[in-house]
Structure 1
Amino acid sequence: MRLSVLDLVPVRTDQTSADALAASTQLAQTADRLGFQRYWVAEHHNMPAVAATSPPVLISHLASATERIRLGSGGVMLPNHAPLAVAEQFALLEAAHPGRIDLGIGRAPGSDPVTSMALRGAAGRDDTDVQNFPQYLDDVMALMGADGVRVAVPRQHYVLKATPRAGSVAALWLLGSSMYSAQLAAAKGLPYVFAHHFSGHGTQEALDHYRQAFRPSEHADRPQTFLTVNASVAETLQEAVARALPNLQNMARLRTGQSLTALDLVEDAEAAVLAPQQQAMVDSGAARPVIGDPAAAAAQVRELAEQFDVDEVMVHPVGSERRGADPRASLARDHTLELLAKELLG
């Protein structure tokens, strides 16, 4: 069993952005010390509850604060960026930290339409960027390589590279939460991760198709995948549920069209009164993550790994804190990693 970490850099009501980044730095160091395989950060924009806006900047910071764990994006939302910019950023990261960088790429915007338009700038990039996603993916892969790509211009072929002399290339993963991503990853022979932590539906179908339709490539000679899952682990089930409650409530608000707010502290979440539809989502959502005491949570992780036939599980620790906690730390999330590692990593 290999364990990895997904981090959205959550911002609690008692934290500034600087506090949240300090807490995530500590969490990455905990994962590094405990023997976790990789640590990925997400890309979300204009969300009060999420500070992970720029994966390459955050990866650079975390790579310098850790020693051996792989750092990566989970993921870079490619329609928001020029392929050359992404290729340059991750070629530079790979040069600075060779053999430790993963480039996970996704197709969703990771933001609202207004923010997406602001990200794409005055050049007029629009919904056709989603349609061109497969070509953009090819561009990023080629640009990071030692040979670059040849661009046809009048009377010459112009060679374009993301870095002058690539000694190694960041490992590329395709991310998704639909059959489209599974089909594309299989066709291009790419490692693939389904966002089970977010949707919880369609995982088996997507992974089955990916494995059956996979075509070997220079990137992977066989299907490579793992599972992502939300997790809250504590010494007791009651405390694990309490720590997970603020995240569950935020997801219910998001899915019923409400604006996200900073992540509540546990006591505030316990006192909150939700609309019936939202409360039903919280109640049903509590059955999907890994939540429990150490032995029960480890059993849930093993069961998920067996169910989806993976030998690596990426946990997204979602625990919030109680009032009076250190704002520059995230002890509940640290605790989740420590308890799972003790049970599963030895």
Structure 2
Amino acid sequence: MRMSSEHQQKMERRGEGTLAIIMLALIQGFLSTGAVEVRSSMNPAVVGASVTLSLSPSTALNSGSWAVGGSLILTWTGAQQAVFPSHTGRATVDVQTGALTLTSVTVADSGLYVVQSANPQLQAGASLSVYVLISNVTLKANPTDLMEFNSSAVVTCSVSSGSSLSFLWLNSSSEVTGSDRVQITDGNSTLTIVNVTRYDQGPFRCLVINPLSNSTSAPVNFTINYGPDNMALTVNGQNTTSFSVGSNLTLLCSAQSGPEARLQWAFGGETLNTTGPLLELLSVSEKQSGSYSCLASNHRTNVNRNITTNIMIAKSPLSGSEQRAVGVGLLSLLLWVGVLSSLPDVGGSFSR
């Protein structure tokens, strides 16, 4: 079947219209992405500021409209402009350049702003982000007095003001990251440490950040009750336990404990009237040989530990030089005895 000339002409006109629409779309895309850009006087912007969105390069627009997120802000034709109720009193347009000015911006003003004009044909857009400055970062920890291996620490970070917040936890100057015992939840605003150890005392801080500002909390410290454990006992700073009669001995006891352990001394199983890390024995005698114990107790953990050492005190054997001197003396004595015994009996050789 052959197509009539009239129908063929209609198809051609329809095709030309479609081509025109495509070309117009391409031109608009070129204007929005290449030839003309929307630039913000401040981006990101702080709540309460004034922001101007202008075209670059500057373009004379006889009419047009501004919208954000698909909702119209205002329209203008010539010198006349109409502002929609959502932006009454806060939005104005430069009717010659099409520049939009927003005053007293809020977080709700964040979004994609699009300007359109039919004379000349133009469409362009840009995103604006508005943030609240961060202030008064505080930590709440409950409780702070904990038992090692039996308690969990929970710290919550909050701010008086701020938007689009990111939270970072610090232990001293090191970043705290999640692990089997460490949980960071509620958008990273809560830190939980399960089965705390003596190394979880802190100080812990919370650093809060957004694209416009940052602020750090005051530190929080935990009191971790632990021990006593890892006890040690030395005598005169040595590992030896044998000493001579007349020696002066200093016994030193230590234990890891929080709070500090109470140290009590005992000798031969009997408690001495001496407390603290040092026990001093002056000019010791043999009867002071025996077992010496250091007893450590922690009133918060109710844990008791002890460590014992056995000390031997004996008379000192002769030194090598002393032994040689004694040997020389004995030899001299023996020589004299030999000489005397070899002399003749003078008294027995005379007779009357």
Class of the TM-score when normalised by the shorter of the 2 chains: under 0.3
Name which structure has the greater RCO, CA cutoff 8 Å, separation 6+.
1
Question: Structure 1 or 2: larger helix share?
Answer: 1
Question: TM-score, normalized by length of structure 2?
Answer: 0.17
Question: TM-score, normalized by length of structure 1?
Answer: 0.17
Pick the structure with greater CA Rg. Answer: 2
